[in-house]
Structure 1
Amino acid sequence: MKISYKNIKRYREILHILIKYGFSFAVEKLNMEQVAYKIPITRPNEELKHMSTGERIRKAFEELGPTYVKLGQILSTRSDIFDQDVIDELSNLRDNVEEFSTDIARAIFTTETGLEIDEVFKEFNNKPIAAASIGQVYEAKLYSGEDVIVKIQRPNIEQTIKSDLEILQSGASILNDIAKDNETNFENILEEFKIQLLRELDYNFEAINAIKFYEIFRDSEDVYIPKIYSEYTTKRVLVMERIIGVKLSDISTIKSFGWDTEKISEIGVKSLFKQVFEYGFFHADPHPGNIFVLNSNCISYIDFGMVGIVDKKTFSTLNRMVLAAVEKNADKIIYLLEEMGITNQSIDKESLRLDLLYLLHYYYDIPLEKISLTNIFNEIFRFFRKYNITMPTELTTLAKTIITLEGTARELNPNFTVYSIGQEFINYYYSNIFNSKYIFERSKNSVEEIYFDLKNIPKQLRVILKNIEKNNIKIHIDDIKAPKLEEQLSDLTTNISLSLVLASLVVGSSLIIASPNIEQNIWIRYLAIAGFSVSFLVGLVLVITIFKTKYKRK
């Protein structure tokens, strides 16, 4: 492993903690004995002997500091990679940091905004209300009278995190070598983590997210989003409206006010589906500490550093997968997984199909009130780990968000069932799919797709013919059934023929229309009209044929 000697002190700190929690084998695998040679390898204490692997990883991450705490929190969403006991421990990761001086915080505010604290705030509480790994939070009041919270980033935290990221990147390729039997690419995971963490270091990113959520729920009476004061917000300072309410985690206080916890849980479920279905943009960390209850009819989200995005194509595929699961169609699910490009070539399809059928039949007849989404997702993730199927990050984030939401909803309402989420899913799905605007957009996209396909066919044919002429065509046949191949070639030939006929008719009719003789002879005009009419019919047949072919393959 290549070592950056400017980070040698940090290397030794990391290795000391790894050895302390029983991960000395990692030092050997990472070939870092030259750094660790002064670190004594002692026998684990009695407490350590009784800890699970997940507990030891959690404690090591907490001691390693903010970078590793954030890494653990992000890895806690990757149930497709780690076993549930590790995921549970990573989900419990908490920032364990000391407060830094308020004088330093004031100096950072001035450096960032060019203004003194007393110039901006009528009142400023010098005692922070929270100290997290990246920043500290203070209460304040503007001269205009609004109560706000002020988040100020820790000094030198960016340099510390960037050093840790450099160390992690140098070890990611080694982790891939250690886990050769696993298809997980740790370098890709680390790159995603790096992007997420660097975004969290820039409070402008969180501010933009909060503004987007404000627009989403602008007209909502159920969800309130705090206002961002952009004029005082910078990369290292965030000023946001202070929410006065009860944390969702404080259920006893919520009940003491006589607020309807069942209704509050319904608002949470509806708000998530509004974010996912209507905008494809959702709060990815809706744990009880990040949601305030304002009254029986209204909740408020805070902390917008972690968001998820699901594009329309991925969401459409996911929806088709859910419908295929309802139909117990294992073959269609496998086809959709392949279409998403998340399966590998060496997968045992027959074994995958049988295990998938068992999974579908097991959950199909269970009464809705006894189904737990957490259990279903955990089973799916175990299934994915077995076959080395890596889910797209946006879907693992969505799954983790739904699991968190279900846990929170069950705390508020012990009678909460998967039926509540399923019913909301159906309501939003059908209200969107039959929405005239959605139908128009989908039709427009389909027409554009067909247009680009038709436009590219001549170009693709030229490339194929040139390669044939140069003898550059190589065909790799691996486990292809001849009848299926013949059927696909037949469909392709039909589509190409129809496309050529359509192109000829359109070009020919256009030339006739452009002819100067068209005004002199009425039959020439009729011939042009007939050409366009036939081209319309041929085009219609081509579109139907393409859709029919796609449907048959599914």
Structure 2
Amino acid sequence: MAITSAPRKLKRTRQVMSTLARHGLGAFAAGARRWYTTVLPYRKARPGVEAIPVEVRVRIALEELGTTFIKLGQVLSMRPDLIPHSLAQELEKLQDKAAPLPFDVVEKELARALGPDFREQLGEIEPEPLASASIAQVHRATLPSGEIVVLKIRRPGIKRQVETDLAILHDLARMAERTVTELELIEPTRIVEEFARTIRREMDFIREARNVERFRRHFRNDSTIYVPQLYWKFCRENLLVMEWIDGIKVSDVEHLRKAGLDPKIIAIRGAQAILKQVFEHGFFHADPHGANVFVIKGNVIVPLDYGMMGSLDDRLVRQIEDLLIGIVRMDVDRIMTVLENLGSIRPGTDTRSLYSELYDFLDRYYHVPLYQLNTPELVGELLDIVRRYRLRLPPDLVLMIRSLMLAEAGGRRLYPEFDMMTLAKPYVKRIIMRRLSLKRRIKEAPDTLEEVETLVRLAPKQVQSILSKASQGELSVRVDPAGIPEILHELDRSSNRLAFAMICAALVIGSSITISAGFGPFLFGFPLLGVVGFGLAALLGFWLLFSIMRGGKL
């Protein structure tokens, strides 16, 4: 991780906190106000801000804060398992645009990447950018060989700015976990760490170039998909050079028709492409929205922007296979086992209730014909269960679901009768057959035997260790039932009230004895100590009664 200078971090922190507060989003820090008001001025929300929906305020604040926060919003919009659906929808509107860099700044970056003779290497570079985003700017160039290419140039200083913002986000995440109990369950620190990995990968253009090459290998024999040629000799960490594609955005249905292209064929090919990526290659485009996919002559699909990709490792693939088998067989026990193996079920989760909800969900859709299924509605219901039970899903699994959803939505825009489920059925069937095949079981048998051998070899030692600790009185059992903090809080509050009541009673009894004994000095004919004692008892009694009534428990 890059080192961030303290003055720069402090200045940026002030800007971030002020922006959040101005949009009425600083409430989460109220419990930790002492932390930042010692070095930062506190800003009140601007008048009338509460009338604006909080989702809109979040989006506007992120846009104002720039690159890192826009990217964070975009990544969170892909995680409807973590945030409310309404917020995810609003964050999808985030626009990753930035003011164009002056061409002399672009030339300096090219010289830094390729050397002072970059013009001789790249030929004629068009000064007007094709696109200008927060991380990079894109220009077209004509190489000395006559080939037309696009240059993706990373903005100067962007890495340092992102690292500063990531350090602040880590601070805010830790602070939020300490001050807002509800946020502990979604683990803001873990989310920031995942996001940091994502944005650092997106800023590394060598990594993106490798993604292009891998994608190209996967589809080299598929005539329906074209992956642009990469010019490796020019590629650097801050520069990506690829073949120029003169195509039409897949989302521009009217222009596709005018060009003589067939939206129905494009919809089917696009869906088959993402299904192959997910179920055959285990490596998929994680952001296949309309602007990132072009179509060229022959209804050939050209994916662009390979900075954000998803990858399914062997373990996750096996779990997905088991999940699909559980769904097809309506085997909720198998689905619950998969969730446990993925670490999705948190301690304290009501597993009986979760089991019942999953069974009800499957039962409602099990006998419905595929063409009648509303995929967005079905996935929405499933994600609602995930959110309610705070299930942890692997990020790549969520990205996979999102990519399939985008393919479904894009297909229906192109062809209203488009049916993603029917296209997916053969892939799912092949996966299940492959998972249950004798060949697969024979192949996995050595690994299974090795695991059993390891278990048999280690079990006696582990049992002996447990028995040894027990005999020496060193064995401890940690009990962490849900709700224990609330129980302790109530006990603490009750004991405090009981102590106050006993003090009041002691003051009343002591004051009564003092007055009855007639000890001086006197006030209005009564012993002064007795009067003061009754007064204190009355004040404490009224305070105790008021606190009980305010708590709603008389």
TM-score (norm: length of structure 2):
0.80
2:386 alignment partner in structure 1: 384
Tell me the secondary structure at the aligned position of residue 339 of structure 2: helix
Residue 37 of structure 1 pairs with residue 41 of structure 2:
yes
Contact 1:325 1:360 (8 Å CA) reproduced: yes
1:468 alignment partner in structure 2: 467
Contact 1:372 1:418 (8 Å CA) reproduced: no
1:453 alignment partner in structure 2: 452
1:116 alignment partner in structure 2: 117
1:61 alignment partner in structure 2: 62
2:490 alignment partner in structure 1: none
Inter-partner Cα distance in structure 2 for 1:215 and 1:389: 35
What letter is aligned with 1:446?
A
Question: Deviations along 1:52-81, whole A, 9 cap, x unmatched?
Answer: 222111111111100001111111111111
Inter-partner Cα distance in structure 2 for 1:102 and 1:477: 63
Tell me the secondary structure at the aligned position of residue 357 of structure 1: helix
Contact 2:81 2:386 (8 Å CA) reproduced: yes
Inter-partner Cα distance in structure 1 for 2:122 and 2:32: 51
What letter is aligned with 2:444?
N
1:259 alignment partner in structure 2: 261
Question: Deviations along 1:471-501, whole A, 9 cap, x unmatched?
Answer: 37959699xxxxxxxxxxxxxxxxxxxxxxx
Aligned-pair CA distance for 1:176: 1.9
Question: Deviations along 1:484-525, whole A, 9 cap, x unmatched?
Answer: xxxxxxxxxxxxxxxxxxxxxxxxxxxxxxxxxxxxxxxxxx
| Residues 84/467 of structure 1: CA separation in 2 closer, same or farther (3 Å cut) | closer
1:78 alignment partner in structure 2: 79
Inter-partner Cα distance in structure 2 for 1:38 and 1:460: 58
Tell me the secondary structure at the aligned position of residue 19 of structure 2: helix
Tell me the secondary structure at the aligned position of residue 172 of structure 1: helix
2:194 alignment partner in structure 1: 192
Aligned-pair CA distance for 1:109: 0.7
Inter-partner Cα distance in structure 1 for 2:114 and 2:46: 50
Residue 163 of structure 1 pairs with residue 164 of structure 2:
yes
Inter-partner Cα distance in structure 2 for 1:169 and 1:475: 34
Inter-partner Cα distance in structure 2 for 1:466 and 1:404: 52
Contact 1:284 1:308 (8 Å CA) reproduced: yes
Contact 2:225 2:301 (8 Å CA) reproduced: yes
Question: Deviations along 1:230-266, whole A, 9 cap, x unmatched?
Answer: 1111111111111111111211100112211111111
Contact 1:176 1:184 (8 Å CA) reproduced: no
Contact 1:202 1:235 (8 Å CA) reproduced: yes
2:291 alignment partner in structure 1: 289
Contact 1:66 1:95 (8 Å CA) reproduced: yes
Tell me the secondary structure at the aligned position of residue 208 of structure 1: helix
| Residues 245/180 of structure 1: CA separation in 2 closer, same or farther (3 Å cut) | same
* Mean CA deviation greater in 139-148 or 4-13: 4-13
* Mean CA deviation greater in 21-30 or 118-127: 21-30
Contact 1:110 1:116 (8 Å CA) reproduced: yes
Inter-partner Cα distance in structure 2 for 1:202 and 1:80: 28
Aligned-pair CA distance for 1:160: 0.8
| Residues 62/275 of structure 1: CA separation in 2 closer, same or farther (3 Å cut) | same
1:13 alignment partner in structure 2: 15
TM-score (norm: length of structure 1):
0.80
Aligned-pair CA distance for 1:30: 4.2
| Residues 434/346 of structure 1: CA separation in 2 closer, same or farther (3 Å cut) | closer
* Mean CA deviation greater in 227-236 or 460-469: 460-469
Alignment of 1:19-418 (within 5 A): 19-31=21-33, 32-37=36-41, 39=43, 41-44=45-48, 48-182=49-183, 183-418=185-420
| Residues 230/414 of structure 1: CA separation in 2 closer, same or farther (3 Å cut) | same
Aligned-pair CA distance for 1:312: 2.4
| Residues 450/406 of structure 1: CA separation in 2 closer, same or farther (3 Å cut) | same
What letter is aligned with 2:353?
S
Question: Deviations along 1:308-332, whole A, 9 cap, x unmatched?
Answer: 0112222222222223223333333
Tell me the secondary structure at the aligned position of residue 410 of structure 1: helix
| Residues 429/462 of structure 1: CA separation in 2 closer, same or farther (3 Å cut) | closer
What letter is aligned with 2:314?
K
Inter-partner Cα distance in structure 2 for 1:463 and 1:226: 56
2:546 alignment partner in structure 1: none
Tell me the secondary structure at the aligned position of residue 137 of structure 2: strand
Tell me the secondary structure at the aligned position of residue 344 of structure 1: coil
Inter-partner Cα distance in structure 2 for 1:431 and 1:294: 36
Tell me the secondary structure at the aligned position of residue 282 of structure 1: strand
Give the percent of matched residue pairs that are identical in Structure 1 and Structure 2: 28
Contact 2:261 2:298 (8 Å CA) reproduced: yes
Aligned-pair CA distance for 1:97: 1.3
Aligned-pair CA distance for 1:26: 3.3
Aligned-pair CA distance for 1:96: 3.3
Aligned-pair CA distance for 1:267: 1.0
- What residue ranges of structure 1 are gaps of 5+ in the alignment? 479-554
Tell me the secondary structure at the aligned position of residue 310 of structure 2: strand
Structure exhibiting the larger radius of gyration computed from Cα positions: 2
Aligned-pair CA distance for 1:427: 5.5
RMSD value over aligned CA atoms?
2.5
Question: Deviations along 1:159-186, whole A, 9 cap, x unmatched?
Answer: 1111101111111112223442352111
| Residues 475/331 of structure 1: CA separation in 2 closer, same or farther (3 Å cut) | farther
Contact 2:264 2:415 (8 Å CA) reproduced: yes
Contact 2:31 2:179 (8 Å CA) reproduced: yes
Question: Deviations along 1:106-164, whole A, 9 cap, x unmatched?
Answer: 11111112243321123210100100000100001111221100011112111111110
Contact 1:11 1:35 (8 Å CA) reproduced: no
Inter-partner Cα distance in structure 1 for 2:383 and 2:135: 31
Inter-partner Cα distance in structure 2 for 1:15 and 1:181: 21
Aligned-pair CA distance for 1:38: 6.1
* Mean CA deviation greater in 361-370 or 93-102: 361-370
Question: Deviations along 1:205-227, whole A, 9 cap, x unmatched?
Answer: 11111111011111210111011
Tell me the secondary structure at the aligned position of residue 223 of structure 1: coil
Alignment of 1:517-532 (within 5 A): none
- What residue ranges of structure 2 are gaps of 5+ in the alignment? 480-554
Tell me the secondary structure at the aligned position of residue 218 of structure 1: coil
Inter-partner Cα distance in structure 2 for 1:207 and 1:105: 20
